Structure 1
Amino acid sequence: MSVIKPKIDDLLDKTDNNRFLLASLASKRACDINSMLREQHSRVLAVQDIDDITIAMSGKDTISMAMEEIVDGNISFEHDKYEAALGHKAAEE
């Protein structure tokens, strides 16, 4: 699988060109989306027999949904907290 839309360069621009941060943000958001959709799982199964609730409800996989949210600016990170968590600088209070 490759990232075609949104473009990887656009995604990296949103994460200071940090591939690890991009992967972390996308995977965390994808897990959140999955959790939200799984709460709806029993309701959908009552209507139709579908195994993959995410694709059934959205037509997309959760990673694609998360990456679209990142490039749109709906998901971001706090640069100072991220740097402090890495130990690159002291956390500001």
Structure 2
Amino acid sequence: MSVVKPAIDGLLDRTENNRFLLAALASKRACDINSMLRDQHSRVLAVQDIDDITVALSGKDTISMAMDEIASGDISYDREIFDAALSGRSSSEA
């Protein structure tokens, strides 16, 4: 699988060209989306034998959804907390 849209360069611009930060943001958001959709599924549908419920409900995989949100600026990060984490300080010390 490759990221074609949104372009990787645009995504890296949103994360100060930090590939680790981009991967962490996308992974965390994809997990949140997946959890949200699974919760909705368990409340609304009684469908069995569907392995990837996210794709079944939304038509897109969660990583693609997360990358789209990062590219549009809907998902971001707190730079002070990120910098504090990199330096080993707690966010309250930042």
TM-score w.r.t. structure 1 length? 0.87
Report the equivalent of 1:54: 54
Distance 2:73 2:49 in 1: 31
**Worse-superposed segment, 33-42 or 11-20:** 33-42
Offset at residue 33 of structure 1 (A): 0.3
For residues 69-88 of structure 1, the aligned pairs below 5 Å read 69-87=69-87
User: Between Structure 1 and Structure 2, how many residues are aligned?
Assistant: 90
Q: Does 1:65 align with 2:65?
A: yes
Report the equivalent of 1:9: 9
Instruction: Give the root-mean-square deviation of aligned CA atoms.
Output: 1.8
Distance 2:89 2:34 in 1: 33
For residues 12-51 of structure 1, the aligned pairs below 5 Å read 12-42=12-42, 43-44=44-45, 46=46, 48-49=47-48, 51=50
Identity level (%): 64
Which runs of 5 or more residues in structure 2 are unaligned? Answer: none
Distance 2:33 2:18 in 1: 23
